[in-house]
Chains A and B, each alone.
Chain A
């Protein structure tokens, strides 16, 4: 397998993360599963990118490998202009710490820390100071002011996810990766959460890449990438829920 095959030139300006020829396989021989099959993708800075696809399309694997949580079998990926496959585990950890924020579907928070401590955790780990004004602004927008001293177990699902978003935002990362952030929430809480994320992109220029299978969630994004069988099969700008749903139906979802 050739790993240096670059089909599309990388435009280094205004790209927060990118991947060229990204391939990820699990297992060997007959049991080999090709989760990613030579993907080229760019996540533009200051944009809200949604990655959609049916189950098993490889969308989560794409997010994990882009974010440096998992390594590609072949191909290259970049965060900013750092090529991850060349980096040691420690260096990748550092990249995640300093440049990336995460919002997962569940289990986002450390159970023993209060909401405030969870939010400032990435800054505490890297020894950076909390910008109080920015912290207050984020907390204000997310409506968490009176919940800061609570432990995760004392928060509702929606509140927990908002704390996770706050954590991702407060550290001012170059890029936030979100994995089905509203997947465990009822539609109202989910809608609120996605609206906050939309605002972070529009008002503060935050870059966000989000994996989802929910067309409504995808409609909050600037751009939707459609994945099937480990390849990007289509993309859509300024989506609406109806358009996304139609596209998904075509894909047989």
Chain B
């Protein structure tokens, strides 16, 4: 049986080519992602190994329950005093101990100009440390010039200096929290073996200067070199015993492994994200496979009848078709894996050419191979099951019939199943979105899939009257070509419906994302309606320095600056995000969605919907425990948007709990009558001296920026859906191509009675266009519906208006019609060039 299956695939590979391409595309998407994330993991694991290569033991703050590491704004705390370093140095087995300190700042390029552009202010980060002079501690070796000996000297890594435009002896500017600091470049260092810094800039200054900039002479880490022959883990344990609470000693090896593991965890999410899109692509591909195999089974009815006559059982026939599917799956998955790998290789070369070495060796990971084959085989075989069952019911009598005939089965069963599935899908989605259950994405995702299948099944029924309705219209516009096209759609409603549905899925997801993002834009616009602030201050490097706010407040025409800080506290032992505002001014600058306004805070706390869900209400007492102190607060109001911070407090409480907390956003309000544009220039000029990386955005600019980010999100998701859409179009082409072959005799007859080639081409094109537009319209209805349901479900996050993306929908429809014509090109060409005599003699 296996041999027969292989032979049969080999005998007529053309009809399976597009199916194979569909599977290969989906598999390639998954394989490429796995390859890239694997290479990234390799690159970073090497980086972490080098960071901790020379150091035997690292003493650092223990990862605590406050979860500082998860807070991007949390500054590394200087937790070790000079005495701690001495204590560690005195432990048995320790050869030397060095207090390390990181400086938060950005090394500016030699030709740096302040630009007030959020994108430009980002870029690869700078890593600035105090210089130990010991390569085992610094992880960097001086290869040119000298180390920083006096406080105005600095060294950079060998790649950064030319990249930023500095040579030895030049003055290097660094934007820090206390302003722009200047240094003389005295040396160049190489990080680890090959200076692979994944694009970051590495800089070292003296211990004293770094302490001055940080405003704290403590250390955030102690690097330990053990004596020759001493066991690093034993020394680490010994150090652990004398350490202050909340710190730990870990060997360099373990630390590197821990960091790699953490990084891999992040990469895993990327993998899951990519697999989701690969699955969508393959799900669409499954529709093509169903159609292809269905058509092949019809075409081979006589062959199957013959096999049945000479003693092949229905079961064996079924197995044979599934084996054929497996052969197709293995071949196309192999192609997909290779293409995915090559694609990833190509992409990595391009990315490295643009941004330096960030990937490790690009190899094909075992994950990519396993997932590729599993996904490919699973999708193909599942999709081939129904056609295979259909083949197994073919009577041996079919072998004796004159030509392949199709039995016309009524659509009743299909409609009942389709209706039931549609209903079930809708129920699952509603339950998932509105019932507040634990993992809502599971019922929503499953519901969406069931809904799609249900609608696909129902679509066949919809197509029948639709084709009749269109027949009159198409006949009027295109005469006999239009009539024949409408007839063709109606003749095989199942096949046409499946083809249209493949496109429907892709368009549905596009429409869903478009609805969601457009609603998000409406949300942004609405929020700015109650806005009174003239400027929003951002820092692309993290927190906004206090000094910068003082500069702004000191300028003429500025009425006041109000800021939002963020931090983490413990509430009943749970890490809780806390936002800090100034109740007197915050509400004047911005109309927050809260009840009552922030100025009614009265020294208490506001809570967000997630806290309300957790059972807290106005009037309750909250016991908050921060790094610097504790506070018991009365809940005085509710903040109605979820996702910003769980608890809101005033600045006094904020300081009491958190000490110096990072400021993430500030709003500037000008005096009445001051021209905002002139004021913006004036403020930027003032900031350029010490804080050139800060960005000042007017509400209009900010809204535009937010919309840009939303559009970027839409763009990325659309691109990821591209594979699914291409597959869907291949599906349209595939179905048409196969049905052209099937209708060879009929087309020959049409040509014989005088229909011109042009008309044949047009007939196929109309058929294709109608299917494409039909699939698109169905997809848009579903997508907008699901998008609206999603937006409604996210009401807690501030969504109030469902915006239908009309412009996008119009665009999609036009694109679908064009795509339909494109997809029909090859089938139409095939049909038109058919030789009349051969076509009539063709043995179906």
The reply to whether A125 and B316 contact each other, CB–CB distance below 8 Å, is: yes
Question: A residues within 8 A CB of B843?
Answer: 107
Question: A residues within 8 A CB of B11?
Answer: 111-112, 151
The reply to whether B303 and A94 contact each other, CB–CB distance below 8 Å, is: no
Is B462 positioned at the interface, with any CB of A under 8 Å from its CB? Answer: no
Question: B residues within 8 A CB of A107?
Answer: 302-303, 306, 399, 843
* B 1-20 to A, binary, CB cutoff 8 A, 1 in contact else 0: 10110011011100000000
Q: A64-B397, A69-B396 are in contact. Are A112 and B308 (CB under 8 A)?
A: no
Question: B residues within 8 A CB of A97?
Answer: 310-313
Question: A residues within 8 A CB of B316?
Answer: 125
Tell me how far the C-beta of A46 lies from the nearest C-beta in chain B, rounded to whole angstroms: 22
In the complex, A125 Cα to B308 Cα: how many Å?
11
The reply to whether A93 and B400 contact each other, CB–CB distance below 8 Å, is: no
Tell me how far the C-beta of B304 lies from the nearest C-beta in chain A, rounded to whole angstroms: 10
A98 contact from B1, B302, B311, Cβ within 8 A: B311
B309 contact from A69, A111, A117, Cβ within 8 A: A69
Question: B residues within 8 A CB of A94?
Answer: 311, 313
B residues apposed to A, CB below 8 Å: 1, 3-4, 7-8, 10-12, 302-303, 306-316, 395-397, 399-400, 843
Tell me how far the C-beta of B522 lies from the nearest C-beta in chain A, rounded to whole angstroms: 59
In the complex, A179 Cα to B402 Cα: how many Å?
13
The reply to whether B314 and A125 contact each other, CB–CB distance below 8 Å, is: no
Question: A residues within 8 A CB of B314?
Answer: 89-90, 93
* A 68-101 to B, binary, CB cutoff 8 A, 1 in contact else 0: 0110000000000000000001100110111011
Is A163 positioned at the interface, with any CB of B under 8 Å from its CB? Answer: no
Tell me how far the C-beta of A113 lies from the nearest C-beta in chain B, rounded to whole angstroms: 6
Chain A to chain B contacts (Cβ below 8 Å), 28 pairs? A60-B400, A64-B397, A69-B309, A69-B395, A69-B396, A69-B397, A69-B400, A70-B397, A90-B315, A94-B313, A96-B396, A97-B311, A97-B313, A98-B311, A101-B310, A104-B399, A104-B400, A107-B306, A107-B399, A108-B306, A110-B4, A110-B303, A111-B11, A112-B4, A112-B8, A112-B10, A113-B4, A125-B316
The reply to whether A110 and B307 contact each other, CB–CB distance below 8 Å, is: yes
Question: A residues within 8 A CB of B309?
Answer: 69, 96, 102, 104
In the complex, A124 Cα to B10 Cα: how many Å?
19
Tell me how far the C-beta of B700 lies from the nearest C-beta in chain A, rounded to whole angstroms: 68
Closest 8 CB pairs of A and B: A97-B311, A112-B11, A112-B8, A112-B7, A96-B311, A93-B313, A69-B396, A107-B302
The reply to whether A125 and B302 contact each other, CB–CB distance below 8 Å, is: no
Question: B residues within 8 A CB of A60?
Answer: 400
Question: A residues within 8 A CB of B307?
Answer: 110
Q: Which residue of B lies closest to A69 (CB)?
A: B396
Question: A residues within 8 A CB of B3?
Answer: 117, 124
In the complex, A100 Cα to B310 Cα: how many Å?
8
The reply to whether B12 and A102 contact each other, CB–CB distance below 8 Å, is: no
Is A122 positioned at the interface, with any CB of B under 8 Å from its CB? Answer: yes
Q: Which residue of A lies closest to B304 (CB)?
A: A110
Q: Which residue of B lies closest to A63 (CB)?
A: B400
Q: A108-B306, A110-B306, A112-B12 are in contact. Are A64 and B400 (CB under 8 A)?
A: yes
In the complex, A81 Cα to B279 Cα: how many Å?
55
The reply to whether A121 and B310 contact each other, CB–CB distance below 8 Å, is: yes
Question: A residues within 8 A CB of B399?
Answer: 104, 107
Question: B residues within 8 A CB of A93?
Answer: 308, 311-314
Tally of contacts, chain A with chain B, CB under 8 A: 76
A113 contact from B7, B312, B400, Cβ within 8 A: B7
Most chain A CB atoms below 10 A, which of B302, B316, B400: B400
In the complex, A205 Cα to B313 Cα: how many Å?
28
In the complex, A117 Cα to B126 Cα: how many Å?
70
Q: Which residue of B lies closest to A89 (CB)?
A: B314
Q: Which residue of B lies closest to A64 (CB)?
A: B397
In the complex, A149 Cα to B166 Cα: how many Å?
75
The reply to whether A179 and B400 contact each other, CB–CB distance below 8 Å, is: yes
Is A202 positioned at the interface, with any CB of B under 8 Å from its CB? Answer: no
Question: B residues within 8 A CB of A90?
Answer: 313-315
Question: A residues within 8 A CB of B8?
Answer: 110, 112
In the complex, A221 Cα to B661 Cα: how many Å?
106
In the complex, A113 Cα to B126 Cα: how many Å?
67
Tell me how far the C-beta of B8 lies from the nearest C-beta in chain A, rounded to whole angstroms: 4
Most chain B CB atoms below 10 A, which of A96, A122, A179: A96
The reply to whether B311 and A126 contact each other, CB–CB distance below 8 Å, is: yes
In the complex, A121 Cα to B312 Cα: how many Å?
10
Tell me how far the C-beta of A232 lies from the nearest C-beta in chain B, rounded to whole angstroms: 22
* A 206-237 to B, binary, CB cutoff 8 A, 1 in contact else 0: 00000000000000000000000000000000
The reply to whether B400 and A111 contact each other, CB–CB distance below 8 Å, is: no
B310 contact from A64, A102, A113, A179, Cβ within 8 A: A102
Question: B residues within 8 A CB of A126?
Answer: 311
Q: Which residue of B lies closest to A177 (CB)?
A: B309
In the complex, A104 Cα to B303 Cα: how many Å?
12
Tell me how far the C-beta of A153 lies from the nearest C-beta in chain B, rounded to whole angstroms: 10
In the complex, A40 Cα to B413 Cα: how many Å?
42
Q: Which residue of A lies closest to B307 (CB)?
A: A110
Q: A64-B397, A64-B400, A69-B397 are in contact. Are A125 and B310 (CB under 8 A)?
A: yes
Tell me how far the C-beta of A112 lies from the nearest C-beta in chain B, rounded to whole angstroms: 3
In the complex, A194 Cα to B416 Cα: how many Å?
54
Tell me how far the C-beta of A238 lies from the nearest C-beta in chain B, rounded to whole angstroms: 30
